[in-house]
Amino acid sequence: MSAPRFSIIVCSIDAWKFAKVSACYARLLAGVPFEIIGIHNAHSLAEGYNQGLHQCRGEIVVFSHDDVLFLDHDFARKIGERMQDWDVLGFAGSSRAIYPIWFAANWPHLYGAACHWALCRPGVLTFDIYGANGWPVSGDIRLLDGLCMIARREVAAAVGFDDETFDGWHLYDCDFSFAASRAGYRIGVCCDIPYIHASTSIQTTESAFDSSAYTKYVKRFLAKYREEKFPEYRLTPLQSVGLALPDHHTLKQLWNETTFRRATLAITRQHAAKDSAACAACPP
């Protein structure tokens, strides 16, 4: 059986970032057929991904940010095999949609992990583990983080990106994954593929989700899916196990099933302790 062809679609206006992420994917996909499609003139990520989708020829389509670097040399084999059983894959997401932010449902619905550069500690990586309900892939996902989403081409074409509603840089990912979930496609989160997202961590940028630009697209998302009747939502601290790491070698060593299962257990125990404390504080 011949290896599937990969199409990597990257929207980028930064030549250096595009060159770096392209080199990363070229290393990961050496030995299998692939193409890298750069979109450099899009007015939104949804528009750019649609442009790339119309051009691509691969059976597996990777919609990638220009600042994500994968560290697993087995990337091509793992993704190629998994796309025989899954329709869409990501690397962090939620099994429950209560609001158009993938981590809004919080524990116990979050799966995957992320590694970012620490905001105030140059050279330090922050490794945040959200949990896993399965290994190496957590299933029943409804919302994905858009740092990298992978889909079979026919699925991506059937779902598409709503570039009229999401004509900016927010919520294209939640819309795409939620629409795919509503259509009955199988969505999973890969938990065993280490990567670095060369931005700052979510915990340091929560104020971004209160911005007027973000709020505009939240309103559009809620209007588009008004029949879902999402509950009132208040942003709460993201529940995860966070580690500060000195380099990517340490990250690769720690990014394994044992670490994930221990982190998931730690988060579970933390919530059990909070629930017990809350019950003890209640009047008889």
The tokens of 94 are what? 């939620």
pLDDT tens per residue, range 176-195 = 999 999 999 999 999 999 99
Residue 284: per-residue pLDDT: 55
Q: Considering the domain boundaries, does residue 207 fall inside one?
A: yes
Q: Which domain holds residue 48?
A: 6-278
Residue 275: per-residue pLDDT: 52
Contact 153, 185 (CB under 8 A): no
pLDDT tens per residue, range 59-100 = 999 999 999 999 999 999 999 999 999 999 999 999 999 888
User: Which parts of the chain have pLDDT scores under 50?
Assistant: 201, 203-206, 278-280
CATH number at residue 48: 3.90.550.10
Q: Considering the domain boundaries, does residue 180 fall inside one?
A: yes
H or E element that contains 282: none
Q: Considering the domain boundaries, does residue 1 fall inside one?
A: no
What's the whole-model pTM score? 0.93
Q: Considering the domain boundaries, does residue 283 fall inside one?
A: no
Q: CA–CA distance from 28 to each of 116, 156, 188, 232, 260 (Å)?
A: 20, 22, 21, 42, 24
CA distance 154 to 173: 18
H or E element that contains 129: strand 125-131
Name the domain count of the chain: 1
Contact 86, 178 (CB under 8 A): no
Q: Considering the domain boundaries, does residue 284 fall inside one?
A: no
